[in-house]
């Protein structure tokens, strides 16, 4: 049997209602895994099941990453898991001089505090099976901050450090933890970024991608790889997914 399969693995996926999250869920299912898809919009969660090729292995659960109690309640409902893909995030680009406390709190809460709190509760309630794999969808921008991106890029950098700390703290249980750093992917944040910088600047930026911008499945397949036993020797590191954008010195 190929080590790339996910048979007998139950994977929790946050941000499952995003195009990238949706692709991650479907590719996990395609590789034989079971998915618990997290989202805060019941209609979008129902859509995931209705559109899925493997609805029998797809469970959906409500969670709002802005509410601590919502995460506490979620963890009580969850079965033991073999992995977690953290894909929920808020972009909310804003130049530093215009930042409001509510925006700072929202981005840091959804992009960093809540994944940390969720994972902490998963461990403290013994819901993480030995040999599990954690995958944090970060961004290439954590190493390449951009104008208006202070909150998003700082939260992603913090998330990558968190991924590494899990790898260190949980090594005795053979739990692996890694980050993925995508550049521009045709998904929700692509559209938000284009609206922020304008189409002309986006088109200019995309010329720097030797392989063009990414698609949700590009992130999904790398996530599947890191979740699988084929990646059994990979922990505490990052995979850059950028179509060659950052290969030039």
Ligand X SMILES: NC(=O)c1ccc[n+]([C@@H]2O[C@H](COP(=O)([O-])OP(=O)(O)OC[C@H]3O[C@@H](n4cnc5c(N)ncnc54)[C@H](OP(=O)(O)O)[C@@H]3O)[C@@H](O)[C@H]2O)c1
Segment holding 62, helix H or strand E? strand 58-62
Give how far the C-alpha of residue 5 lies from the chain's centroid of Cα atoms, to the nearest Å.
20
Least spacing, CB of residue 49 vs ligand X, in Å: 15
Question: In the bound complex, which residue of the shown chain has the CB atom lying closest to ligand X?
Answer: 188
Least spacing, CB of residue 206 vs ligand X, in Å: 11
Contact with ligand X (CB under 6 A) among 12, 29, 88, 231 = 88
Pairwise CA distance, residues 127 & 108, whole Å: 25
Q: Of residues 212-241, which lie at the interface with ligand X (CB under 6 A)? A: none
Least spacing, CB of residue 48 vs ligand X, in Å: 10
What DSSP string runs through 110-172? Answer: IIIIHHHHHHHHHHHTT-EEEEEEEEEE--GGGTS--TT-HHHHHHHHHHHHHHHHHHHHTGG
Pairwise CA distance, residues 34 & 54, whole Å: 9
Contact with ligand X (CB under 6 A) among 117, 190, 209, 215 = 190
- Looking at residue 242, what DSSP letter applies? S
Q: Is 10 in the site for ligand X (CB under 6 A)?
A: no
String of contacts with ligand X for each residue 30-69, x by CB under 6 A: ---------xxx--x------------------xxxx---
Q: Is 93 in the site for ligand X (CB under 6 A)?
A: no
CB 14 within 8 A of CB 45: no
Residue with Cβ nearer ligand X (2 or 69):
69
Residue with Cβ nearer ligand X (32 or 188):
188
Q: Which stretch binds ligand X (CB under 6 A): 115-123, 126-134, 168-176, 185-193?
A: 185-193
Contact with ligand X (CB under 6 A) among 13, 31, 37, 87 = 87
Q: How many other C-beta atoms can be found within 10 angstroms of the C-beta atom of residue 172?
A: 7
Contact with ligand X (CB under 6 A) among 131, 145, 188, 236 = 188
Least spacing, CB of residue 84 vs ligand X, in Å: 13
CB 202 within 8 A of CB 194: yes
Pairwise CA distance, residues 114 & 245, whole Å: 30
Q: Footprint of ligand X on this chain (CB under 6 A)? A: 15, 17-21, 39-41, 44, 63-66, 87-90, 110, 137, 139, 182, 184-185, 187-190
């Amino acid at each position: 049997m190929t080590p790339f399969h996910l048979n007998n693995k139950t994977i929790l996926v946050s941000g499952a209602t995003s195009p990238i999250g949706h692709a991650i869920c479907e590719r996990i299912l395609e590789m034989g895994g079971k998915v618990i898809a997290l989202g805060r919009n019941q209609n979008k969660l129902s859509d995931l099941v209705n559109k899925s090729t493997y609805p029998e292995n797809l469970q959906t659960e409500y969670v709002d990453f802005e509410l601590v109690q919502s995460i506490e309640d979620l963890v009580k409902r969850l079965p033991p898991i073999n992995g977690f893909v953290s894909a929920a995030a808020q972009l909310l680009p804003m130049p530093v001089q215009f930042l409001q406390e509510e925006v700072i709190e929202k981005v840091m809460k959804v992009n960093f505090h809540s994944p940390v709190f969720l994972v902490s509760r998963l461990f403290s309630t013994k819901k993480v099976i030995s040999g599990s794999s954690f995958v944090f969808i970060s961004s290439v921008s954590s190493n390449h901050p951009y104008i208006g991106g202070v909150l998003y890029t700082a939260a992603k950098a913090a998330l990558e450090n968190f991924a590494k700390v899990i790898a260190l703290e949980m090594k005795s249980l053979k739990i692996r933890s890694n980050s993925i750093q995508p550049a521009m992917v045709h998904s929700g944040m692509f559209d938000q970024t284009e609206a922020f910088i304008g189409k002309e600047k986006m088109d200019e930026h995309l010329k720097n991608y030797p392989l063009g911008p990414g698609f949700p499945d590009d992130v999904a397949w790398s996530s599947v790889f890191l979740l699988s036993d084929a990646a059994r020797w990979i922990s505490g590191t990052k995979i850059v997914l950028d179509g060659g954008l950052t290969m030039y010195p």
